[in-house]
Amino acid sequence: MALTPSPLAYVPFVSVANMMKLVHHVGIETFLLELTDAMEADFRRWESFDKTPRLAAHSEEGVIELMPTSDGEFYGFKYVNGHPKNIKEGLQTVTAFGLLASVGTGYPILLSEMTVLTALRTAAMSALAARHLAPEGAACMAMIGNGAQAEFQALAMKAVCGIDTVRLYDIDRAATDKVLRNLDGLDLNLVACDTAQEAMEGAQIVTTCTADKQFATILTDNMVGAGVHLNAVGGDCPGKTELHRDILMRSDIFVEYPEQTRIEGEIQQLDPDHPVTELWQVITGAKPGRTGPGQVTLFDSVGFAIEDFTALCYVRDRLEGTDLYEKLDLLADPDEPRDLFGMLLRAAP
Amino acid sequence: MALTPSPLAYVPFVSVANMMKLVHHVGIETFLLELTDAMEADFRRWESFDKTPRLAAHSEEGVIELMPTSDGEFYGFKYVNGHPKNIKEGLQTVTAFGLLASVGTGYPILLSEMTVLTALRTAAMSALAARHLAPEGAACMAMIGNGAQAEFQALAMKAVCGIDTVRLYDIDRAATDKVLRNLDGLDLNLVACDTAQEAMEGAQIVTTCTADKQFATILTDNMVGAGVHLNAVGGDCPGKTELHRDILMRSDIFVEYPEQTRIEGEIQQLDPDHPVTELWQVITGAKPGRTGPGQVTLFDSVGFAIEDFTALCYVRDRLEGTDLYEKLDLLADPDEPRDLFGMLLRAAP
């Protein structure tokens, strides 16, 4: 007795291999669209979540973060790192995994890889903001920075906002070529550009996603025309920004969670009381989003725990009826809860 | 190519079954003694750790906590819940798992169950405090509360401090009987008692470990004689205490991390500036521990992240040369770090 773990001891685990199978099982664009819709639903009930800035451990090389949240019924958190130098050593800049648990019992109910899932949810988040902020009929996006996020961003804007053209620029042409290869045959017009300025020509949506941990200026004010929706994804920790301050000054700025964005986002360059609008309030209709065709809107995206929570819940729901998970012997579950030591004794060889 | 995860994508995982095998491979008492020594070594370099109070999500039913720390080279965190009501539903009050990662790359290097490991490290922590605070030649301990921690506490005090007798009390006699069964044949004199007062007769070390989430009074002042070392394990979150305030007033109080203990420990009953001594300073010799045979010392144990960090590092070291772990496909690791989407594409069925 008690030599094999009880069913309560097992936590469903989604490996990277199974996450990729799940994405193909659902379809990449359908996955992105459904995830965007799920995120919109959770943003509508924003006030029902416990919110706290992420807990970050900074080092010279990068940052390791824990991002927890809860809606009172479920608790979720993500472990995620950001190490820009990793790429030079053949490692991912960002890796992540996450967990869902029951608030009522504290028992974990899902452990999942979140490197692939974070890429998907970050793109879905951008698409959700663009759905509410981009100019009507936006058909062309510029993608500045053609790293690991680029294809996900492009496909999410296609699936959710209906864009048909992506203009690509990266300081490393090999990165752009990678995107050209990967998106070939996915029903998008792809235009490789030699400068960021060229990439932005005719684009109604401009997404920046570069990885340097330093105050960078990927875009300057003269490059941004009227009516554009800017989606700044790469500036996401102290000291890491992409846009010139002048762009911020003439944009209407939308954020996920101001307490976190003021520390980590593009707006760390601005006064701490510079007006910003919380995106959830645009989605519920409490605050205006885009108010005219000439307005420059900026979504200062840093990534918030609720988005990961949504993604984990979406994966949990989508796993049902599949065998795309393993069962992990993560929790000790003795026959008699107080008899943990007895369980250990009985496991003696 | 890239259809099977690369070696970098794998994270060693210690399941509950493997943790129990590891404990028996090392020997329970040797494990507790070595873990206590490892903890003492880390307490000596206390100042080299990043310290932050745990991040707690409280609900009516219990609490879910994340406990991170880092020594600059490695980063560790534990997920742990505390749900006193669980026991009535046949669930564990406390379950936990933890992770070690490299600060330099942010990559996880060990994922481990920590329900069993937390029980071991909590007992090792008590033994470490008693090693420095208990009266010389202490041979008898009282164990008040005979739940999941009881046997671990008793064996750690035996292995580290050399006690030979354990006097047991629990409001539920069945819990005491469980301890009697489990510790039978492990070379300890076991005495079942009908009251807490009776259990404390002749004991130089008194450990309380009860689980009610309410201001309880397991011990009152008249029960505590001169020269005793008290080890209060069960009071570990706001509203959860075990000792009458009067006991605290006549004890010299030792804590792990005051910022956390003042919120969670027995001393939440005292003024926020009531003097306490940090245990690491006793261990380094910077502050006095026990100064005389009549003194009542109290270790107000709440559990701190550094102890879990030590435990994870100890397990990592002890795993070497064994096959007591699995390899978990937790991290996406594309051939080319920027080509996450390409990896996803190539995983298409």
| ipTM score above 0.95 | no
Q: What is the structure's pLDDT at B176?
A: 97
Q: Which one is predicted more confidently, A85 or A3?
A: A85
Query: Residue A328: inside a domain, yes or no?
Result: yes
pLDDT at B219 (0 to 100): 84
Residue A110 sits in the same domain as residue A248: no
Q: Do B127 and B276 belong together in one domain?
A: yes
Q: Is A195 helix (H, G, I), strand (E, B) or coil?
A: coil
**Chain B residue with minimal CA distance to A83?**
B105
Cβ B113–A63 below 8 Å, yes or no?
A: no
Q: What pLDDT score was predicted for residue A105?
A: 94
The pLDDT confidence band at residue A147, using thresholds 50, 70 and 90, is very high
Kindly calculate the radius of gyration of chain B based on its CA atoms and give it in whole angstroms.
Answer: 21
Question: Chain A contact for B135, CB < 8 A?
Answer: no
- Same-domain check for residues B269 and B144: yes
Q: Is B341 on the interface with A (CB under 8 A)?
A: yes
Res B296 pLDDT > 90: yes
| Backbone conformation region of residue A184, classed left if phi is above 0, alpha if psi is from -120 to 50, else beta | beta
Looking at the fold, whether A289 and A338 belong to one and the same domain comes out as no
Residue A286 binned pLDDT confidence (cut-offs 50, 70, 90): very high
DSSP code per residue over A110-125: EEEE-HHHHHHHHHHH
Are A64 and B107 an interchain contact pair (Cβ–Cβ within 8 Å)? no
The H-or-E segment that residue A50 falls in is: none
> Which sign, positive or negative, has the C-alpha torsion A305, A306, A310, A313?
positive
A156 touches chain B (CB under 8 A): no
Between B8, B68, B87, which is nearest A66 by CB? B68
- Please report whether residue B344 resides in a domain: no
Residue bearing the bigger pLDDT, B332 or A99: A99
* The token pair that represents A155 in the structure block: 């496909």
List the single residue in A with minimal CA-CA distance to B93: A337
- Based on the domain organization, do A148 and A287 belong to the same domain? yes
**Closest residue in chain B to residue A336, using alpha carbons only:** B90
> What is the mean pLDDT of the segment spanning B340-346?
94
Q: Which of A37, A172, A187, A236 is catalytic?
A: A236
In a domain, B349, yes or no: no
Residue B332 has pLDDT above 50, yes or no: yes
Q: Where in the sequence is the domain holding A221, given as residue range(s)?
A: 123-304
Q: Which residues of A touch B337 (CB under 8 A)?
A: 86-87, 90-93, 148
Task: Kindly state the average pLDDT of the residues B292-305.
Answer: 93
Catalytic residues of B: 236
Q: How far apart are CA B304 and CA B54, in angstroms?
A: 8
Dump the DSSP string for A77-120. EEEEEE-GGGGGGT--S--EEEEEEETTT--EEEEEE-HHHHHH
Q: Which of A52, A101, A344 sits opposite B64 (nearest CB)?
A: A101
Q: Which two tokens mark B161?
A: 């401090």
Mean of pLDDT values over A310-329: 96
Q: How far apart are CA A243 and CA A145, in angstroms?
A: 13
Residue of higher predicted confidence among A93 and A308: A308
**Tokens matching residue A260:** 């976190």
Task: Kindly tell me the sign of the dihedral angle through the C-alpha atoms of B58, A302, A36, B331.
Answer: negative
Indicate which CATH number applies to the domain containing A74.
3.30.1780.10
Cα A125 off chain centre by: 6
Considering the domain architecture, whether residues A272 and A330 belong to the same structural domain is answered as no
Which candidate from B70, B328, B332 shows the least CB-CB separation from A115?
Answer: B332
More confident residue, A74 or B224: A74
Q: Is the Cβ of B147 closer than 8 Å to some Cβ of chain A?
A: yes
| In chain A, alpha helices (H) | 16-26, 28-44, 115-133, 150-156, 173-183, 196-200, 245-249, 258-264, 279-284, 305-319, 340-346
Residues B283 and B215 in one domain: yes
Residue of chain B nearest A145, judged by CA positions: B338
Chain A residue with CA closest to B83: the answer is: A105
Q: State the Cα–Cα distance between residues A173 and A192, nearest whole angstrom.
A: 9
Which string of DSSP letters, residue by residue, matches A267-301?
GGGS-TT---EEHHHHHHTSS----STTPPEEEE-
Kindly state whether residue B162 falls inside one of the protein's structural domains: yes
Q: Which residues of A fall within a CB distance of 8 Å from B154?
A: none
Poorest-confidence range of A129-133, A159-163, B54-58, B310-314? B54-58
Same domain, A85 and A180: no
Whether A236 is catalytic: yes
> Does residue B3 lie in a domain region?
no
Residue A251, domain member (yes or no)? yes
Quick check: A218 pLDDT over 90? no
Q: Which residues contact A292 (CB under 8 A, 6 or more apart)?
A: none
- How far apart, in Å, do the first and last CA atoms of chain A sit? 14
Note whether B293 and B319 are same-domain residues: no
Distance (Å) from the alpha carbon of A20 to chain B's nearest alpha carbon: 6
pLDDT at A272 over 60: yes
Under the phi-then-psi rule, with left for phi > 0, alpha for psi from -120 to 50, and beta for the rest, what region is B62?
A: left
**Is residue A338 domain-shared with residue A246, that is, in the same domain?**
no
pLDDT > 70? residue A5: no
Chain mean pLDDT for chain B: 92
**Helices marked H in chain B — which ranges?**
16-26, 28-44, 115-133, 150-161, 173-183, 196-200, 245-249, 258-264, 279-284, 305-319, 340-346
Most A-contacting residue of B87, B336, B338, B343 (CB-CB within 10 A), to test interface = B338
Longest dimension (CA), chain B: 74
Alpha-carbon separation of residue A49 from A73, A76, A216, B43 (angstroms): 10, 11, 33, 37
pLDDT tens, position by position, B238-272: 777 888 899 999 999 999 999 989 988 999 999 99
CATH at A203: 3.40.50.720
Q: Count of domains in chain A? A: 2
Cβ contact B90–A337 (<8 Å):
yes
Provide the token pair at B128.
Answer: 């470490």
Domain annotation covers residue A1: no
Partners of B175 on chain A (C-beta within 8 Å) are 338
Please name the helix (run of DSSP H) or strand (run of DSSP E) that holds residue A13, with its range, or none. strand A10-14
- The mean per-residue pLDDT over the stretch B316-343 comes to 91
pLDDT for B4: 58
**Cα-to-chain-centroid distance, residue A179:** 19
Q: With respect to residue A2, please indicate whether it lies within any of the assigned structural domains.
A: no
pLDDT value at residue A94:
85
Which site among B146, B344, B345 would you substitute to test the A interface, given the most A Cβ atoms closer than 10 Å to its Cβ? Answer: B344
Q: Considering Cα of A161, then A167, then A172, then A173, what sign does the dihedral take?
A: positive
Across-strand partners of A110?
Answer: A100
Q: What average pLDDT does this structure show over A245-262?
A: 93
Non-local CB neighbours of A70 within 8 Å, separated by 6+ positions: A49, A50, A76, A103, A309, B57, B59, B64
Q: Does A95 reach chain B within 8 Å, measured CB to CB?
A: yes
Beta bridge partners of B58: B63
Rounded to 10 degrees, the C-alpha dihedral B338/B343/B344/B345 comes to 110
The pLDDT tens digits of the residues spanning B168-222 come to: 999 999 999 999 999 999 999 999 999 999 999 999 999 999 876 676 778 888 8
* Residue at token pair 């996915």: A186
Average pLDDT, chain A: 92
Is residue B1 pLDDT above 50, yes or no?
no
In the sheet that B252-255 helps form, which strands lie side by side, from edge to edge? B189-192, B165-169, B140-144, B205-208, B229-232, B297-300, B252-255, B277-278
Using pLDDT thresholds of 50, 70 and 90, give the confidence band for residue A212: low
Contact across the interface for B24 and A348, Cβ inside 8 Å: yes
Distance separating alpha carbons of residues B340 and B333, to the nearest angstrom: 8
Which residues in chain B touch residue A9, judged by CB atoms under 8 angstroms apart? 16
pLDDT digits (tens, 9 = 90+) for B58-102: 999 999 999 999 999 999 999 999 898 888 888 888 889 999 999
pLDDT band of residue B53 (cuts 50, 70, 90) is: confident
Q: In chain B, which among 172-231 make CB contacts under 8 A with chain A?
A: 175, 178, 181-182
| Partner residue opposite B106 with nearest CB, options A16, A62, A146 | A62
Please, which pLDDT band fits residue B5 given cuts at 50, 70 and 90?
low
Question: Of A237, A326, A330, which to mutate for an interface test with B (greatest number of B Cβ within 10 Å)?
Answer: A330
CB atoms within 10 A of CB A149: 27
Confidence of residue B2 (pLDDT cuts 50, 70, 90): very low
Of the listed ranges A228-237, B12-21, B120-129, B194-203, the least confidently predicted one is A228-237
Q: In this model, does residue A1 exceed pLDDT 50? A: no
Among B28, B148, B344, select the one facing A116 at the smallest CB separation.
Answer: B344
* B263 and A CB contact within 8 Å: no
Q: Name which of A173, A306, A340, A343 to mutate to probe chain B: the one with the most chain B Cβ atoms within 10 A of its Cβ.
A: A340
B306 with B51: CB under 8 angstroms?
yes
What is the Cα gyration radius of chain A? 21
Same domain, B96 and B155: no
Residues A134 and A13 in one domain: no
B27 vs A: CB within 8 A: no
